[in-house]
Amino acid sequence: MHMRSEPVALIDPRKTSLLPEPAAPRDLISIQDLTPAEILALFNLTSMLKQRPADYRGVLSGKQMVMFFEKPSLRTRLTFEAGMDSLGGSTFFVDQTASRLNARESLYDIAHNLERWIDLIVLRTFSHATVEEMATYAAVPVINALSELEHPCQALADFFTLQEHFGDLSRIHFAYVGDGNNMAHSLLLAGASLGAKVSIATPERYGLNPVIVTMAEAIADKTKASLRIMTDPRKAVTGADAVYTDAWASMGHEQEAEERAAIFAPYQVNAALMQFAKPSALFMHCLPAHRGCEVTDQVIDSLNSVVFDQAENRLHIQKAILVWLLGGGVGRFPARSTHA
């Protein structure tokens, strides 16, 4: 379990040049690292950054971020880099697509090197354990930019997008159909934290991780969210305010694409399936989309599609995460490692 602090305080940059420094380095490994109140506070900060970007130029001046990516990326890489640059910080990108991060050197040693040079570490990995280990060893914040278990930054951008359209997220019905993958996990946890009604439909052999479901149910007990896990996509989207899907074969499962195509065919988001949702229902996808597979052109290119709003909001939510984790002040580098 990662450290939690009080909800982020929103600072008007016109009144002060410094942002509050966290009491101790925190990480964003899972949606669970944020309390429901912190998610809403983060959304408020995101709105401020989106509406008045010029007011925040330079707030992270002198801060440095390193990104290690074992998987290819378009939105995640560019939005983090553009976001850090617009806040005045610097980014270093390390391409790990040819080999795993710990192939040459132990994560323990890598972490204790990085914490002496860099203010924040962003990881996009195959193994969730890699992100957790880095967060355990490094005395600077670590962000999960995608692992096989979760994709928290994307889910936060998605629910921020929903808040822009609907306002009170506790009043919406959010439906997801398709693979019970990392995206589904983070969306379930986010929906539970925000008190939403969440319906998820997956094929039987491709369901959600039961540990994630149990965690989401525990959160829902406190927030009064309604969670429904099922296999019928039509039942899941009936009456939904938003319908979300993702690739049927995520990165690392490309060799299963042909087999999955037949199994997932009933889960395609097409005009017929969208008929079960509300007439005004939004269509959502984290991209890249495989048109003609999990979604048809008619749906993704419709007026109700907000896929590019989601993509844009990746920039704004990640800027807010960077400000929240790094803040202002000095003395970020420990004299020696604070982790065992």
Which residues participate in catalysis according to the annotation? 124, 151, 154, 246, 286, 314
Q: Distance (Å, rounded) from C-alpha 105 to C-alpha 133? A: 13
Q: Are 156 and 103 in contact (CB under 8 A)?
A: no
Name the token pair of 292: 């003609």
Helix, strand, coil proportions of the chain in percent (round to 5)? 45, 15, 40
The upper half-sphere exposure of residue 26, i.e. CA atoms within 13 Å in the direction of its Cβ, equals: 25
Task: Please give the distance of CA 334 from its chain centroid, rounded to a whole number.
Answer: 28
Distance CA 116, CA 336 (A): 8
Across the beta sheet with 64-69, the strand order is 90-95, 64-69, 120-124, 142-144
Distance CA 134, CA 109 (A): 10
Q: What region does 275 belong to: left with phi over 0, alpha with psi -120 to 50, or beta?
A: alpha
Instruction: Count Cα atoms within 13 angstroms, Cβ side, for 185.
Output: 24
Q: Where are the alpha helices (DSSP H) in the chain?
A: 36-51, 75-86, 107-117, 128-137, 152-166, 182-193, 210-223, 233-237, 257-264, 271-274, 297-300, 307-326
Pick the closest to residue 253 from 204, 189, 201, 180 (CA basis).
180
